[in-house]
Amino acid sequence: MRINCMLLALILYNAFGFSQQTYSRTTVRGFSISAGQTTTHIHSLPDSIQIIGNVVIRLGLKGDFGSSSEYADLFLDDETIGTHNGGEECQTSWDYQSWTVPAGQFVSHIIDSEVAVEVRNSSSVNYCSTRYHAVKITFSYNELTPAEVGQKSVVDFPEGGGQLTQHSFLSNYSIDRSGSIDVGIRGDFNSTSEYAEIWIEGDLIGQHDGGSNCAASFDQASFSLSRAALQDYASDGIIDVMIWNSSNANLCQGEHEVFLNAGSIPFWMPCSDCGYSGPYNRGWLVQGHLGQDYPAYPNDSVRAVADGRVYKVEKNFPGFGGLDLPGPVMVIEHIKEDGSHFFAIYGHVSTTLEKDDIVRGNDIIGTVGHYYVDGEDWSHLHFGVWDAPDSFPTTGWGYGSIRDFTDPTPFLNSRYLPWP
């Protein structure tokens, strides 16, 4: 069965302190006078949640359930959960029976944030005028925020064996190459019967055999992912990874660590549409210059070099309108081929984009503005690269000490491909 769920549901030791909530919903369906009637109950579940403990499914019956041959079976998809033997013949009040389902078993039946429960009557249930099935699902949960591709997700689990953690990754980026998933585990994994299985949306990716007993550090393993598989998993904008311990991994509280590498992605040139070959093309570290200038006409299009998210937009930042003049600049946090992040500075660029907007590689993100030097307009794009995933500076974007800035020309040339 192919699982493609937006739901982030975990059995784990609750170490996060989120506000616990309760899902409780009942669906009622009628059925006809005929043999072996079936009703289907679709429950739409909240997105990005962590299930705490077990799930309770309660089935209520009204109708012809007065003998041992008159009963109803309850299924999650095609998996039998239990049999309700009913009550009196042609009863008009509900007769209830409940089952407790482990969260891991319940999660395996979620497709696109929905779970389907079927109730199937025996062939003897066939003649009462009042005929209903009621299905109630109840569980406790916490709301969670998924990680992004290129970030680590670390989730605790308790002692007990068979522990499940699920790691949800937002995929706001194009995926055009193969990738990998790196999994670290620490806990009770010191024998061949103590291991963890790695699943992505219903597909078994591999098995991690672990390291020493109750280890304090992570034991790492890596598994390759094809481009086609990654694109399929990311088709709904989120990739769900599930780590399931064997039943013998039960002596220690531990953690699962997951890093999802989205594979290589296309890079583009930021000023491929620029048509001016004027004099202002100052290069890397010329008089302390922290970027590469691309001469351009005012209003020439500027393109995103890769997929990313707008980090900052400034309309009047010092030095970006000319010598000692304020002007427009934007910073985009991009993703590299290994899943790590960097920041790109697009200086002297006017844009309608706002903070946290998502961009795709080669999208037009703005236009070249003016840059005045001694009264002359030396319009150009200033392009800079801060090659670090965090600690982006508040000042010194155009000139100054190098810090984590890098020469943008070889940085782009080593990644650029003439994508169609």
List of residues 6+ apart from 163 with CB closer than 8 A: 11, 12, 157, 244, 245, 249, 254
User: Mean pLDDT, to the nearest integer, of 347-363?
Assistant: 91
Tens digits of residue pLDDT in 188-213: 888 888 889 999 877 889 999 877 78
Minimum mean pLDDT range among 15-19, 35-39, 125-129, 295-299 = 15-19
User: Which pLDDT band holds residue 13 (cuts at 50, 70, 90)?
Assistant: very low
149 contact partners, CB below 8 Å, separation of at least 6: 169, 170, 171, 172, 173, 234, 239, 260, 262, 335, 339
**What's the CATH number for 147-261?**
2.60.120.260
pLDDT tens per residue, range 368-395: 999 988 888 899 999 999 999 878 999 9
pLDDT band of residue 15 (cuts 50, 70, 90) is very low
DSSP 8-state class, residue 289: B
**Are 21 and 142 within 8 A, CB to CB?**
yes
Q: What's the count of helices (H) and strands (E) in the chain, helices before strands?
A: 3, 30
Going by C-alpha positions, the residue among 117, 107, 138 that lies closest to residue 12 is: 107
Cα 244 → chain centroid:
18
If you average pLDDT over each of 73-82, 331-340, 369-378, which comes out highest?
Answer: 73-82
Q: Would you tell me which CATH number, out of the four given (3.30.420.40, 2.70.70.10, 3.40.50.2000, 3.40.50.170), belongs to the domain 286-413?
A: 2.70.70.10
- Measured between alpha carbons, how far is 289 from 287 in angstroms, rounded to an integer? 6
CA dist 124 → 33, 60, 72, 219, 280 (Å): 11, 18, 10, 57, 88
Cα 22 to Cα 107, 228, 304, 336, distances in angstroms: 16, 37, 43, 39
The C-alpha R_g of the chain, in whole angstroms, comes to 29
Return the sign of the alpha-carbon dihedral for residues 194, 198, 204, 209.
negative
- On the question of pLDDT at 397 being above 50, the answer is yes
**Quick one: pLDDT band at residue 266, thresholds 50, 70, 90?**
low
Confidence of residue 224 (pLDDT cuts 50, 70, 90): confident
pLDDT, one tens digit per residue, over 272-311 is 888 876 767 899 999 999 999 999 999 999 999 988 889 9
Q: Extract the tokens encoding 261.
A: 């590498």
Are 20-142 and 147-261 equal in CATH topology?
A: yes
* DSSP for 190-231, written as a single string: -STT--EEEEETTEEEEEE---SBT-SSPEEEEEEE-HHHHH
DSSP 267: B
Q: Residue 273: how many CB atoms within 10 A of its CB?
A: 15
Element (H, E) at 412: helix 408-413
In CATH terms, the fold of domain 20-142 is Jelly Rolls (2.60.120)
**Checking DSSP bridges between strand 164-170 and strand 147-148, what pairing results, if any?**
parallel
Task: Give the C-alpha distances (Å, rounded to integers) separating 247 from 18, 52, 100, 188.
Answer: 28, 19, 19, 11
Collapsing DSSP states into helix, strand and coil, what is residue 263?
A: coil
SS (H, E, C) 9-50: CCECCCCCCCCEEEEEEEEEEECCCCCCCEEEEEEECCCCEE
Paired with 59 in beta bridges are: 97, 135
Q: What's the rounded Cα separation, in Å, for the pair 137 and 27? A: 9
- Indicate the domain borders of the chain: 20-142, 147-261, 286-413
